[in-house]
A = this chain, B = another copy of it.
Amino acid sequence: MDRLSVRQARQESAIGQQARLQGWVRTRRDSKGGFSFLELNDGTCLANIQVIADAALENYESEIKHLTAGCSVTVEGQVKASGGKGQATEVQAARVVVHGLADPDSYPLQKKRHSMEKLREWAHLRPRTNTFGAVMRVRNQVCRSIHDFFQEDGFLYLNTPIITASDCEGAGEMFRVTTLDPANPPRTDQGEVDYTQDFFDRPSYLTVSGQLEGEVYATALGKVYTFGPTFRAENSNTSRHLAEFWMVEPEAAFFDLEDNMDLAERFLKRIVTDVLANCEEDLDFFQQRIDNEVRDRLGKIVEGGFARTTYTDAIAALESSGESFEFPVSWGADLQAEHERYLAEKLHGRPVIVHDYPASIKPFYMRVNDDGKTVRAMDVLAPGVGEIIGGSQREERLDVLERRMAEQDLNPDDYWWYLDLRRYGTVPHAGFGLGLERMVQFVTGMANIRDVIPFPRTPGNAEF
């Protein structure tokens, strides 16, 4: 007898097979004819399979008639054609083994709908719901596409360090990592905390980006990408921020900004194409139950090319738009969410890549243009969500890089190894970053970023 997943058993091709299915009961309905219908789910797809359990089964009265939502069972029987709506097949059970019950008086996931807030308190049970099962399957597909895309394109997967003693570009508040006794840390003669006695002999932190280390490997092996956890110790309780999130950062030697924009566009199209092809059932669910603009938004990614505009042209377009923005538009200021949305949604009606931003609002490592005022930065803005990718061509000229670091009061000694990459065999190179959870929000329409990661980490939340 073959083990079949619910997904497999729902295919017409399974009809006639003797099969073993294993999963969790979603509902039980008893017919007047003296048998029961069990809706069985095993997480392999959104839909359940209907199991028909006859009164003749030996444990029908003792066990089957007591099954409730969440109980776990093994069902053996034959897959048959079904006349029921929305299902090609069903299973006529020859045997039902009950593994575990789920007392309906205490099991939280009863049929009523629960708020997303409530489900976050039950982070260990919420993957058993339709919504979180669908989110996780789509998240898995996005991750798979990320790896497939880069691997097929010759990029090497790179694990940059999580614990680091360097503070990349001062990109944000960092978490400290330590083994010192917090109540009574060792002190120097001057009374300062003596970090030479900490595990790494110096203050150490959780990484905010693997970019600088990615550049090390790109300038040795050509094309690399990181895909790992990243951290921000910002005390922001919003629907768009996590203290711990996953980020993808490709970095490629001999890429200029044009190559980088082409790569970002191909990359986003690939992810969305794969999700559309492989997650149809889950997308229907998101479209109907979560966000009825999901499919429209995804269509805009895969149909036609992205618009491209310089920051300077974008500012001019915003100034002459006739819109009244809350934040003033002026050359030299960062684009606000409302500006980004106008550009992507109203002006272009499709994703737009804004490039060549003012140097004054961008980090030191971005390549300075000949005008001396702008740098080779790029942001991909998507309709409905705004910035989804940020990247740049990197400054490969040692003298320019050192000047930019001095302007931003960075100590070159802290970056000796990063500067060595320019000192020895420097090459033009470029890369970008994509936040995995933002991408999963984009393709599912889930409103809160805490609901697209298995166990969200935010201020005050580190349980499970």
Listed in ascending order, the chain A residues whose CB lies under 8 Å from chain B are 5, 22-25, 42-44, 70-72, 74, 99-103, 106-107, 109, 123-125, 127-128, 132-133, 136-137, 139-140, 143-144, 147, 151, 154, 156-166, 173, 175-180, 182-183, 185, 192-193, 199-202, 204, 206, 213, 216-217, 220-222, 228-229, 231, 233, 235, 243-244, 246, 253-254, 396, 417-418, 420-428, 453-455, 457, 459-464
Contact = CB atoms under 8 A, between A and B. Distances in A.
Contacts of A253: 22, 42
B179 A182 contact: no
A125 B424 contact: yes
A159 B193 contact: no
A165 B462 contact: yes
Nearest to A421: B124
Given A455-B213, A464-B164, A158 B136 contact: yes
A143 B106 CA distance: 42
B425 A24 contact: yes
Given A228-B228, A464-B213, A457 B176 contact: no
A419 to B, nearest CB: 10
Given A43-B222, A213-B464, A425-B71, A163 B457 contact: yes
Given A44-B221, A144-B151, A201-B459, 9 more contacts: A42-B221, A71-B425, A100-B424, A127-B216, A140-B158, A199-B233, A199-B235, A200-B462, A213-B454
A224 to B, nearest CB: 8
B216 A462 contact: no
A418 B165 CA distance: 35
A417 B124 contact: yes
Contact of A5 (B123, B158, B192, B222): B222
Contacts of A459: 199-201
A202 B462 contact: yes
Contact of A102 (B178, B213, B424): B424
A199 B166 CA distance: 21
Given A220-B43, A464-B417, A70 B102 contact: no
Contact of A179 (B159, B160, B176, B418): B176
Given A178-B182, A460-B201, A217 B426 contact: no
Given A228-B228, A427-B99, A461 B213 contact: no
A22 B427 CA distance: 9
Contacts of A22: 253-254, 427
B102 A425 contact: yes
A156 B142 CA distance: 11
Contacts of A202: 462
From A163, A166, A425, name the one whose CB has the most chain B CB atoms within 10 angstroms. Answer: A425
B107 A424 contact: yes
Contacts of A178: 175-176, 178, 182
Instruction: Kindly list the 9 A-B residue pairs having the minimum CB-CB distance in the complex, ordered from nearest.
Output: A43-B221, A100-B426, A127-B220, A200-B462, A124-B417, A102-B424, A72-B425, A140-B156, A165-B462
